[in-house]
Structure 1
């Protein structure tokens, strides 16, 4: 049976969608241990745009390739030896195989059953379509920063979809949060997302405000997606032995830190990239993270924002929309 898929024909750093096209493919019946899925929705993440540009480390170089790490669909067929999945069941994946050129931006896909995650009734398609990249990262950030109940976690770029989920999840675990924004008008929105305090880095002294909030002690850790000069301010805002966990580079590929803070206050700067972190957990640890993530989504401990939804035929507009600031949530592509 023929179906439509977004294919990368050539990589383009300056105009990512220009190297793509909507192409016809033919479905493949599942083999042993495989499941065929009719895709419903796919998310447009920065990692997907990096895939179109050819700069994402996990994206294979063999073209044509179908991008998309996040999405949700319905099982249509199961192969021999598959247990726990049946036609009609909603599923997401950890992740869809964009790194193999067989991602979520297509109407059908056949995938190993061990990569699938069942979607409970309490989780909508719009939320399940965002299961992997952001929610699993939130779980990883909280586990790596290991802030105790009642402790303080600084969250930068607090207006992002991921950061708001992190604020909400931290609150559900009894962690106090200090959200860092660049525009004061974001404050009410961020407080509503679950932040205990909001600091505007462009108009306030971040270090002084954090020390004031924490009674002069400093925060336990910072989850930072900005890097750049802000990283030094974050380090100076932490208590002795505090951790700055950098998981993004919104302000460039380098960062500054205080050598005095590292030497005499035991401040640690560390990077977080989800794939190596998950690999280090082993199969049982990975399964536990997926369960914890889905349970949190089902319970409403974190809820991804949903932005505009585009039909598959308008996927290029979806990619362009995803690059806009203040877009209101994750952009999705409706596949079927």
Structure 2
């Protein structure tokens, strides 16, 4: 084949390629900084997880991953921003159980469909939850708490970070499984809830282990049971709820990475692979362990299945407990 024929054939093949493929071939991803939307305010475990992930992904991708906090509505405002973004991999979401699998079933005002608005990329960490009480509450284990609550229905106040928060939902699950009844007192975040718990104005809180471990070790709070499949490394002496013989309540707050719906499969595969590689590094595992988190190397399919399972569980509980608007 002479040079002229090769040039003609090459031009013909190039013109036959779809424009998106031409663009992808001309520009390797990523060619500019990536936004990671953290749908909560700075401070707290979610924001910390987002910054850990952004720092480590930046090193892997060779482009800066910038954390952008978009707080409000329990994470739904940030999630909506990502749902309405271009599916080009430059706007990603730090996904949480509350925003993806709980709140959509509590409100009728949602402006996106959580089942179809996102592309799951992978789960990367989970945090166990623990039931803690004020130190002056006259109970020392879950059996005593359950007995006390049944003898005094509605008298114990259960704090939470707000309506639809994971704190509330773990408590609702506990009440359904044990036949107890607490009075739910929602706050605007875990911080104010903790202040009143430590001050004795409320008696119970279901919280992420890292958020209360220090107070438990100092004797300012009592930890009665881990809502997880195993004991927490930060509180090794606290039994799981199943070990305590009270209920098999396993609620681990998970963190994952998502993008808008319609992301190309090759881009999803790339980001998922990079995410798993980040989680596999000793540095990332060490940082997660310092936060009391369990590292997860999940695939897009596994993450999608987790979201479906959690959504079914919480939608059924919300219906049974009559919590929806």
Shorter-chain TM-score tier: 0.3 to 0.5
Structure showing the higher helix proportion among its residues:
2
Greater gyration radius? 2
TM-score normalized by the length of structure 1: 0.32
Ranked by relative contact order (alpha carbons within 8 Å, sequence separation 6 or more), the top structure is 2
